């Protein structure tokens, strides 16, 4: 008898109707979000940014990525640098990875063009910037194998780090630069 009062046909029917309406709202909301994502992806594939999404993180990231693909490296680096302070750790890792790729590509292009010492110094500078960006990317996400692979390849191109203060000059260099010479 008590069970009939608690689980009456009316109460069960109303409960199932409410659950059905909630599920219908959830399903329609999910379908709407999926359509928005597909709409956004179609614009990105076409190389455009839809107006309503122009200031989202994803739109700015894809715009920077497109610029890098078209070899507008300075503009792409600026856009990526604007994204560094935003997003999740995964997104920050991706931003630093792409910045590293830009410096690495620029360095490789310069590295192969001439044997001039100025060109070699500029290529080394770009490689060191790429190394910093890859290391920063690994700080945010150390499971990204593409970053590890690129960093490994980059380290084979960089000259070994000289020890400060050791070299051809008589100056003590960075290690003992503030210590007076001679007995106290």
| Confidence at 56, pLDDT banded by 50, 70, 90 | confident
Confidence at residue 174, expressed as pLDDT on a 0 to 100 scale: 44
Q: What is the CA radius of gyration of the chain?
A: 28
Please state, rounded to an integer, the average pLDDT across all residues of the chain.
79
Tell if the pTM clears 0.85, that is, is over it.
no
53: pLDDT strictly greater than 80 = no
Q: What is the mean pLDDT of residues 56-73?
A: 83
Residue 62: both structure tokens together: 């894809």
Confidence at residue 173, expressed as pLDDT on a 0 to 100 scale: 45
Q: What is the mean pLDDT of residues 155-178?
A: 57
Question: What is d(CA 111, CA 80) in angstroms, rounded to the nearest whole number?
Answer: 24
Confidence at residue 54, expressed as pLDDT on a 0 to 100 scale: 60
């Amino acid at each position: 008898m008590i069970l009939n009062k608690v689980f009456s046909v009316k109460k069960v029917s109303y409960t199932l109707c409410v659950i059905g309406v909630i599920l219908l709202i959830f399903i329609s909301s999910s379908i709407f979000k999926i359509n928005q994502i597909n709409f956004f992806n179609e614009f990105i594939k076409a190389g455009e940014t839809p107006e309503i999404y122009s200031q989202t993180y994803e739109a700015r990231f894809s715009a920077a990525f497109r610029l890098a693909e078209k070899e507008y490296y300075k503009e792409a680096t600026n856009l990526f640098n604007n994204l560094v302070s935003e997003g999740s750790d995964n997104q920050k890792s991706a931003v630093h990875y792409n910045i590293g790729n830009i410096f690495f590509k620029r360095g490789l292009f310069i590295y192969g063009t001439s044997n001039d010492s100025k060109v070699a110094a500029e290529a080394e500078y770009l490689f060191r910037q790429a190394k910093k960006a890859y290391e920063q990317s690994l700080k945010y996400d150390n499971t990204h194998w593409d970053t590890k692979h690129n960093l490994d390849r980059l380290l084979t191109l960089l000259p070994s780090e000289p020890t400060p203060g050791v070299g051809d000059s008589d100056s003590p260099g960075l290690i003992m630069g503030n210590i007076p010479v001679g007995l106290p």
